[in-house]
Structure 1
Amino acid sequence: MTVVVTGASGHVGANLVRSLLDQGRQVRAVLRGAPIGLEGLDIEHVQGDVRDRASLERAFAGAEVVFHLAAVISIMGDKGGAVRAVNVEGVRNAAEAALAAGVRRLVHVSSIHSFDLEDRRAPLDETRPRATEPHEPAYNLSKYAGEQELRRVIERGLDATIVNPTGIIGPHDYRPSRTGRLLLSLYRRRLPALIPGGFDFVDVRDVVAGILAAEERGGIGENYILGGRYTTAKEIGQIAHAITGRRPPRLTSPMWLARATAPFSELAGKAMRREPLYTRESLLALRANPDIRHDRAAEVLGYRPRPIEETIRDSYACFARRGVVPADAVKG
């Protein structure tokens, strides 16, 4: 039977599609544009847009399972309504289309950002409060709102489960992602300084393993945090140095200075029409609860994340194979 992947050309999608093919499954990738990172793979390509429910109904026809990955990640507000249109209304459309198609199961890849990351009084697990306060970033609000839309369709009979990855990093990062760009900037020595703080980072391959385990064992309507290890920006620089020999920036900007200059970073990004180096929203993430637990995923899904050092090494090795960095970039 066919399995469908929305957002197949993203970082998680590129890795999930490869794992599904390794399992011998027939994969249908729902794409809005070019099949970035999927070239040469034996999969079916269909054009579709999560904002267009009819296109999803056509894409899901005859499918056994839908893996819903499509999302807009933002550190700059709602991006003219795109964040809500994709992350909230798009989830509703995917759920409605999956129900209409009679799929066996939908696995929704949400985000740790659907939880209240500012509350540091206790470890963050699936029982903790959600991102609902108006002052929270649009992306965070959209991820929880999308889950609520999914649950409304679950109440009408859809079999679906939810995974919540933390900060994703790892190989087959073709666009590349924000974490991939960080690794490349460290290698190319393009960062004037590091920013204090950190985040819980997880290998994309471990996220894929969690997604596939959730397909088989995840409870209907249940959330499963797929986390790794809290790692500071300074630690990432040190690990990258040990692997590539490229020294990270010597300076670490004080958080007060980063916060004061964030609006100018945002304006510069807009002027150059590219994502800013950092924003007020990204700085909030760097001050998030550092104690994120994935005990439920470990118990129910058999989830076991690998060390961050292995992830960063494999990321650089993948960049080297593709010619993004020199072939001898991995030294240590």
Structure 2
Amino acid sequence: MKVLVTGASGHVGGNLVRSLLEQGRDVRALVRDDRAALAGLGVELARGEVGDAHAVEQALHGVEVVYHLAARISILGDPGGQVSKTNIEGVRTVARAARQAGVRRMIHMSSCHAFDLDHDVDICERAPRPKPSDPLYNRSKHAGERALREEIDRGLDAVIINPTGVIGPYDFKPSRMGRFFLAIARGRLPSLIDGGFDFVDVRDLVKTTLAAEIRGRVGENYLAGGRWVPVREIAELAAREAGVEAPRLSAPMWLARVGAPVMDAFGRITGWEPLY
């Protein structure tokens, strides 16, 4: 039976598709337009967006398992309503269609941002959820999970993966972290910021995601992380691999937070999305 992967042209999607093919699985990818991550793989392509119920229903024909990875990441609010449309309504559309199609299991790729990321507290799968004052992206990921649970209550078999920051190969678009690494390699990042984040290798994330298909419990969340890494450490590693010097300056976190509204406004005007 076929496996459907939404968001297959993204960073995690491209790696997941490769692993599924290595397992000998019959993979169909629901894609919009960018197919660089899937070039030469011989994957069956289904065109459409996750918010298009008809396209999703067609893509689910003959499918046994759905990996729902399609998402919109944004630190600029919800430009054009695309974040809410994809992260909430897209999940609802895919989950409803998957239940109606009788798929065996749906694996939903959410995010650690679906939890309240209090910087002084470690999180687990039972951690509090985002506050009303938290960024819209965080709230959208939580709302997407709620939409999924509505279908679980109606009989859908689904599990949820919550990855931390993802890094690793086959980052074609590239992702925000991919752009961070490129900026360092090209000497275009004047300063770092203090602090850090938990990062997971995309290959480890894929292994976790595949394991969730087999061993995950219905309705459960599974945090997928690696280790907490200071921004400077990961920047110096990237610079060393690229044969360049890492940025010498570091802005304190309080200054980055003060400047965030300015960068947000600039991004809304220009369409440029800040790295931090």
Q: Shorter-chain-normalised TM-score: which range?
A: over 0.9
Maintained 8 Å contact 1:14/1:37:
yes
Which residue of 1 is the match for residue 142 of structure 2? 144
Gaps of 5+ in 1: 279-332
Output aligned runs, 1:26-105, within 5 Å: 26-105=26-105
Output aligned runs, 1:198-237, within 5 Å: 198-237=196-235
1:244 aligns with 2:242: yes
**240-249 vs 212-221, which deviates more?**
240-249
Shift of residue 185 of structure 1? 0.9
Structure-1 separation of matches of 2:186 and 2:65? 41
Structure-1 separation of matches of 2:265 and 2:75? 13
Which residue of 1 is the match for residue 129 of structure 2? 130
Shift of residue 180 of structure 1? 0.6
Which residue of 1 is the match for residue 17 of structure 2? 17
Structure-1 separation of matches of 2:269 and 2:77? 16
Maintained 8 Å contact 1:269/1:277:
no
Gaps of 5+ in 2: none
Q: Deviations over 1:194-220 (max 9, x none)?
A: 111111011111111111000000000
Shift of residue 127 of structure 1? 1.3
Structure-2 separation of matches of 1:27 and 1:189? 39
1:118 aligns with 2:136: no
Task: Choose which of 181, 184, 187 in structure 2 pairs with 1:183.
Answer: 181
SS for the counterpart of 2:192 is: coil
Shift of residue 266 of structure 1? 2.6
Maintained 8 Å contact 1:166/1:201:
yes
Maintained 8 Å contact 2:116/2:127:
yes
Which residue of 2 is the match for residue 307 of structure 1? none
Counterpart AA for 2:82: A
Structure-2 separation of matches of 1:221 and 1:260? 38
Shift of residue 249 of structure 1? 0.9
Shift of residue 149 of structure 1? 0.9
Maintained 8 Å contact 2:9/2:38:
yes
SS for the counterpart of 2:193 is: coil
Shift of residue 35 of structure 1? 1.4
Counterpart AA for 1:77: G
Structure-2 separation of matches of 1:268 and 1:145? 27
SS for the counterpart of 2:51 is: coil
Higher strand fraction (1 or 2): 2
Which residue of 1 is the match for residue 152 of structure 2? 154
Counterpart AA for 1:154: I
SS for the counterpart of 1:194 is: strand
Count of residue pairs the alignment pairs up:
276
Output aligned runs, 1:166-181, within 5 Å: 166-181=164-179
Structure-1 separation of matches of 2:248 and 2:237? 14
Structure-2 separation of matches of 1:224 and 1:89? 22
SS for the counterpart of 1:143 is: helix
Maintained 8 Å contact 1:14/1:172:
yes
Which residue of 2 is the match for residue 164 of structure 1? 162
Q: How high is the TM-score relative to the length of structure 2?
A: 0.96
Q: Deviations over 1:49-84 (max 9, x none)?
A: 111112111110110100000111111112232111
CA RMSD across the alignment = 1.3
Shift of residue 268 of structure 1? 3.2
Maintained 8 Å contact 1:88/1:142:
yes
Structure-1 separation of matches of 2:239 and 2:47? 41
Shift of residue 238 of structure 1? 1.9
Shift of residue 99 of structure 1? 0.7
Counterpart AA for 1:51: G
Maintained 8 Å contact 2:192/2:232:
yes
Q: How high is the TM-score relative to the length of structure 1?
A: 0.80
Shift of residue 119 of structure 1? 5.8
